[in-house]
Structure 1
């Protein structure tokens, strides 16, 4: 009994459960010796991400199951399988499978939203850094080390202006009207 049975189709991006791993079921099912409750292994539709596993195993999932009427059901993750303990196939068929699917979709959506928000922040930071780098490069490229257009540096031009001002003052002094001693 190593077969799997498909239970539903789900969007590949959304974490879900695709099938029950029949080979993991108790061999005595549908006999007089069958246990009332046992562990059912269900195969995920894709490998769960680390953050999804943390949420699946967290207290919110236990609370979610308890509020939905399944206080004794426990879930664990083993590679690409969800192990659903203290249940049975009938309970899964009659509603627990839907509750688990809803919880996994909620977790998947929340984790995806956090990842997308982090990606946007990263992209914005990268774009901002690229713009800053481009501005620094443009500013650095605007610096030129060449003689001024008049052939003088700014210090030489200032010295000429001061000499010119001094000559003008001397001319005014020589014009008369100013008493010299």
Structure 2
């Protein structure tokens, strides 16, 4: 339940104006690159760290690390490239700056935009479903309360007349008991 509530709150925060940008990559962390780049000893492939434009949501991280991202990279001609997420950084392994410049950066940017759109669509649908369920529950609770309030505990006319007849019958029985007790007390039969 908390996860659903959190997603709804994040959706409401985004739609109220905060954090509305799609997840993207801003820049490469130059300090994380191999020191030997552009020398004779430079590695052919290495890990490049790029900074996200904002902190990725949990669902976005799951999608980034999922099989669809690997499949998309392979179909685009980058079968050995692997991505991982480390806080606000995307670590792109088995690549190089030239490969990123020549097309890999665009493939990654498109995938991140697609992931953001898909996650937001699911969150928005969940928020609508949650809102509809809350409204339905509120209407149901109001209907139950109205039904409960419609109940009145009144004695019916037939029960009142039946009660009067019962009272008369009980009174007659008491009269007979008194009469019987007077008979046994003494004066009858002399």
- Give the TM interval when normalised to the shorter protein: 0.7 to 0.9
Once superposed, what is the RMSD of the aligned Cα atoms? 2.1
**Counterpart for residue 51 of structure 1:** 59
Helix, strand or coil for the counterpart of 1:133?
A: helix
Structure 1: tracts of 5 or more residues without a match: 1-10, 161-181
1:111 aligns with 2:119: yes
**Counterpart for residue 98 of structure 2:** 90
**Counterpart for residue 167 of structure 2:** none
Residue correspondences, number: 146
Q: Distance in 2 between matches of 1:142 and 1:12?
A: 49
More displaced 10-residue stretch of structure 1: 101-110 or 51-60: 51-60
Question: CA 1:154 to 1:126, structure 2 compared with 1: closer, same or farther past 3 Å?
Answer: farther
1:155 aligns with 2:159: yes
Helix, strand or coil for the counterpart of 2:118?
A: helix
Asked whether the 8 Å contact 1:12–1:46 carries over to 2, the reply is no
Asked whether the 8 Å contact 1:12–1:45 carries over to 2, the reply is no
Q: Distance in 1 between matches of 2:81 and 2:102?
A: 14
**Counterpart for residue 17 of structure 1:** 25
TM-score, normalised via structure 1 length: 0.73
Deviation at 1:19, TM superposition (A): 1.2
Please point out which of 130, 142, 164 is paired with 1:122: 130
Deviation at 1:116, TM superposition (A): 1.1
More helix by share: 2
Q: Which gives a bigger RCO, structure 1 or 2 (Cα 8 Å, sep 6+)?
A: 2
Deviation at 1:141, TM superposition (A): 2.1
Structure 2: tracts of 5 or more residues without a match: 1-18, 165-190
Q: Distance in 1 between matches of 2:20 and 2:53?
A: 7
Q: Distance in 1 between matches of 2:50 and 2:93?
A: 11
Deviation at 1:153, TM superposition (A): 3.6
1:32 aligns with 2:40: yes
Q: Distance in 2 between matches of 1:19 and 1:127?
A: 45
**Counterpart for residue 140 of structure 2:** 132
Can you list the C-alpha shifts for 1:62-105, whole angstroms capped at 9, x where unaligned?
A: 11001101111111111111000111111111111000000111
Question: CA 1:145 to 1:23, structure 2 compared with 1: closer, same or farther past 3 Å?
Answer: same
Moved over 3 A (4+): 144-147, 157-160
